[in-house]
Chain A
Amino acid sequence: MAKKVLLIDDDKNAVKYLSVVLEENGYETYAAYDGREGLQKIQELNPDLIVLDVMMPKKSGFTLFKQLRRDEQYKNLPVLMLTGVAGVLEELDEESADTSARPFDSLREALRRTIREMRSEGLIKPEMFMDKPIDSAAFLARIQAMIGG
């Protein structure tokens, strides 16, 4: 039986692209376009994995993610998070990088802070993230590594 993957992203083009990549490789895909709809679909479909965009209307990817991890039923649900903000993950690994050089960039800074916090709480691991633009082969490899094919 095919593995069910739920793609939650407000960028319809991205959802289309990634679902074709997954369907081509035998996954069953479903789509949701904001955080609220995403939660609804999770409860409805009980997917094997969710691909979650960090920045979304209604309910951000992080909010949804934290909610899932607190929920007994979903706390082990595999999640792959997509970040639209370029370079955040690379920067996160270069802790020594001088962050004060770009004080204006509060959005990026907020995201980094959230990720760092969640990581220190043991909620997330760097391998859960993928930065856009997403390469189809790398994406597929990561999904297969997480839930098998």
Chain B
Amino acid sequence: MKQQSHIVWKLNVVVITIVSLVIVVFAWFGHLAGEHYTRESARQILGFHSASIVQGVEDLMMSNSRDGLAAFLEDLSAGNPIYDGLRVVSHEQGQVVVCRSGAYDRVYTLEDWECAVCHDLEDPERAGYAAQDTIVDAPRGGRLLAMVTPFVNRPSCRSDACHAHAEDGEILGLLAADYSLAALDPSSGSRLIRTVLVTALAVAFSGLILGLLLRRLVQVPIGRLIEGTRRIAEGNLSFQFPAKRKDEIGELERSFNAMTTRVRTHQAELRDAMEYLQGIIENSADIIITVTPRGNIQTFNRGAEQALGYRREEIQGQRIELLFADPKDREYALNQLVHTDNVRNFRTDFRAKSGEIRHVLLTLSRLRDAEGNPIGTFGISKDITEERRLIRQVIQSKKLAAIGEAVTGIQHAVKNMLNALKGGSYLVKNGIQRNNMPRIEEGWGMVEEGIERMTTLSLSLLNYAKDWRPEIEPVDLNGLVAKIHAVFRETAASKGIALTVHPAPGPADIRCDPRLVHMGIVDIVSNAIDACAWKDYPEGETPRIVLSVRARDGGQSYEIEVGDNGCGMTKGILKNIFTPFFSTKKQWGTGLGLALTSRVIDVHGGTIDVESEPGKGSMFRIVLPTSGPRQRKESADGQEGSADRR
């Protein structure tokens, strides 16, 4: 409340000062004007009076009676305090001729102001006739109006017998009258006092009225505003001003109302956003921790509590290094933050309260305030302990499955070969019993064939498992395909299959290992032959295989296609054809052919893909880069390649 009184008080003082100044200035001017008019009136009246005395003196002069003159002046002024002095001065000698209560011995010279009325010291000849006056301080106190009125040389003065004046002087003498202004002065003094009194009253009254008005118009509403804003400042945002006034204060109240409404809305929005974010942080399954610039834990969400076993009350404020299994890891992650504002998926280990190690992927960001100053770090860690355990388990079970597949595949192949050996040995034994030589030979052929197949299988297994390196040299693909055609044409023809070749126009020179590529294409071609032999062709369709070579990507790579119209493959088979030990062949398949081919193509940095439809045929497409494989480690390639195919 002090504050508002202050303002109103200040306003009051300023306004009253201004009003007082105005009143004082007006009063002063009024006083000056009164003084002026009073004096002017006195001058006119007294001037007229002096003229009357001069007339009287002139008449007495005619009778040439100095005593009469003196008596006249004495009579005139006797008992009248207005006359301070009355002197008749001769023009010629400047001597006082007659006077009332005045010094006769005084002689007027041109230096006296009375003479200066007409005589300019610079130009003594200049003369005027009007009465002149001045106000001087009386020797006995008060002020005097000293008035000079000349006696003019009239014709009667020249003609009269008593002491006729010469004709040449215009002025014969003068009446110097000193009138006391004592009667006027007290009146002007009391007027001043009155003026001051009235002014003081006016000022006091206007101050009172103004104070009341200010209180009603300013102090009360401002007080209400202050009270309201204080309540708003205390956080009561639902406070509303009445806002009924139509003036600026009403406007102010309305603005305040709008402002609090907006602040309230924003506050609600902000609160919602905060709650939303807090909800996300709190309910995230990830470990979310914020750390102060000094390295103390600040935020510790539920995910962190669950993963690390600490309650937030016990961990907040602790050093963050406490959580790292190796505190250097945090240092290392922070060093990364020097160059960029965040570090993504940093692999590290946390130590839970129980001492258990949790593997995490840590993403760190620097927290900054609006000015960009660092205010801490924000870390989200994904607990991958379980994931890593599962991955290890999966890898383990995949390894086991792969071994299982291999064993089953080999067993399958071996069983078929054993069948040949079994049949062969039966025939040999039976032939010996019956002494049947051709049967023995026939049986022995079967045994040999079985041995041969087993040798091939054994070699294929070795081939597949070994860590081989391609021997890259320039190769003419057209020539290579032509050789394969020459080898297989007869076999195909014996089964009624037409094997044709479409070489690339012009040379098709690429860098590759010719033996490996030859092996891969041969495998696909023999598969195609089997696929054709397997199919029961309808009338009008004949088995055929087409081998073609063509350039791709403007000679950047070459494409070798092997298309057949054989039995084709179902999706289930197609999915598995590059899997080692997967075979659809009954007797002699090792299940390694296409797995090897796929590896060969991989090693060369090429690709292999297949389209197939059951009953319609298959199309194998190999793409090899013209410039040969890039310099890579073969063993790694082989593993990647087979993994991709799975």
Contacts and interface: CB of A to CB of B under 8 A. Distances in A.
Given A17-B446, A134-B419, A107 B405 contact: no
A109 B582 CA distance: 12
Interface stretch (A67-75, A97-105, A117-125): A97-105
Contact of B427 (A17, A36, A53, A58): A17
Given A36-B536, A104-B582, A133 B419 contact: yes
A107 B533 contact: no
A59 B536 contact: yes
Contacts of B412: 85-86
Contacts of A86: 408, 411-412, 415
Contacts of B411: 86-87
B439 A104 contact: no
A109 B408 CA distance: 14
A105 B427 CA distance: 34
A66 interface: no
B430 A24 contact: yes
A136 B421 CA distance: 12
Contacts of B404: 101-102
Interface in B76-107: none
Contacts of A16: 423, 427, 442, 446
Given A16-B423, A132-B416, A133-B418, A102 B408 contact: yes
Contacts of A135: 422
Contacts of A35: 536
Contacts of B427: 16-17, 20
Interface residues of B, number: 37
Contact of B535 (A24, A58, A87): A58
Interface string A54-69: 0101110000000000
A85 B409 CA distance: 10
B426 interface: yes
A13 B582 contact: no
**Which of A58, A87, A104 is packed against the most chain B CB atoms within 10 Å?**
A104
A92 interface: no
Contacts of B424: 13, 17
A38 to B, nearest CB: 12
B576 A20 contact: no
B534 interface: yes
B587 A84 contact: yes
Contacts of A13: 419-420, 423-424, 446, 449
A23 to B, nearest CB: 10
